[in-house]
Amino acid sequence: MNNRIDQRFAGLRAQGRKGLVAYITAGDPDLDATKRLAAAFERAGVDVLELGVPFSDPLADGVVNQLAAERALKSGTTLRGILDAVRALRAGGCQIPVVLFTYFNPVHRYGVEKFVRAAEAAGVDGMLALDLPPEETTAWEKQFESSTLRLIYLVAPTTPDARIAEIAKRAGGFIYYVSREGVTGMQQSLAGNIAAMTAKIHRHTRAPIAVGFGISTPEQARAVAAHAEAVVVGSAIVDRIARLGGSADMVGQVAGFAKSLVDAVRG
């Protein structure tokens, strides 16, 4: 079935270039800002937008994204509201591929089958459940089989070969390689094993690999792009949103930073 993520990565491959995946927390500082940022990212050339679903116990996130989730929850952001925001983006002509980056609890509470139907109807393209390991996703995957949504899985530096092979067989859209152990957050230097780990994952699959966690600057993004199909930048973007808040030029400045990352990855 047609899917914007698949189409985007096929286009990148055909053009011989690498992609940028930008992460923001949906509803930070509010959902109107999220919609304006999404449209600005599309104009800046961002290839995939990851929308973090705010959750009260974000165990995989560092302080920057934890505070973003707190701000989003205080602004009244809900999973239903995020789906409405994506639907509004699609109605306005925005075609950037959208992945929901979430913990499983909000989806479980919404109802998995109901969520899959609602997300597809809204125009979501993919789903990554941070705290749902592949061993526990059989029933979850069945809900997605008849939809256009792609299930995206994580691979970590500590993931053994046999598990990488199993994840590679089940992953859709792209594989997200978490480049360092621990939680999300900006880092001064890159992990040293990115080249070796992406090569190992590539031996098991032709699916695109997107590398994230700790990538904070255009220079770092350019270096990582040499080893993967895409680079994920989150905390460095979210930090700018936090510092600029509701200021009139927040969207323009954050989109300008995203454009510098796009240019670095393409270069």
Positions marked active-site: 50, 61
Distance CA 140, CA 151 (A): 10
Edge-to-edge strand list for the sheet holding 126-129? 150-151, 126-129, 98-102, 48-52, 19-25, 230-233, 209-212, 175-178, 153-155
User: Where do the H-state alpha helices sit in 75-178?
Assistant: 79-91, 104-110, 112-122, 138-144, 161-170
Q: Of the candidates 125, 235, 244, 120, which has an alpha carbon nearest to the alpha carbon of residue 180?
A: 235
Distance CA 226, CA 157 (A): 18
Burial of 55-87, coded b for 16+ CB within 10 Å and e otherwise, reads beebebbbebbbbbbebbbebebbbebbbebbb
- 103 φ, ψ to 5°? -90, 160
Burial of 23-52, coded b for 16+ CB within 10 Å and e otherwise, reads bbbbbbbbbebbbbbbbbbbebbbbbbbbb
H or E stretch at 171: none
How large is the angle between the packed helices 161-170 and 194-202, nearest 10 degrees? 60
Q: Rounded to whole angstroms, what are the CA distances from 186 to 55, 114, 118?
A: 20, 35, 33
